[in-house]
Amino acid sequence: PANLTNDRGDSLVMLAAYHGHADAVRALLARGAEGDRINDRGQTPLAGAVFKGETDVIKALLEGGADPAAGTPSAVDTARMFGKTELLELFGAH
């Protein structure tokens, strides 16, 4: 199942995103996985990709409809914390 999770609520998309596997993220999203599925800590795959600096994954998630404002902290919040102004622009948040 595309939305399978581990014991911490991390989906396959979250694990692929966190480890920089943009092609796997795209494949999972194409098979119906939720790009904004929040884990047990309130994190989304997009916020995880921002934290890890995985630009290709960030683009794949956005192309798949991920919401930069979802989760706690959100991808927008994470980009602000790390001073990633280029990502804030990409997210439409200044």
Residues in Cβ contact with 1 at an 8 Å cutoff, skipping those fewer than 6 apart:
none
Q: What is the mean pLDDT of residues 37-46?
A: 97
Name all domains of the chain by residue range, CATH numbers in brackets: 12-91 (1.25.40.20)
pTM (2 decimals)? 0.94
pLDDT tens string 75-92: 999 999 999 999 999 999
Answer for the pair 46, 61: CB distance below 8 angstroms, yes or no: yes
Task: With a cut of 80, say whether residue 67 has pLDDT above it.
Answer: yes
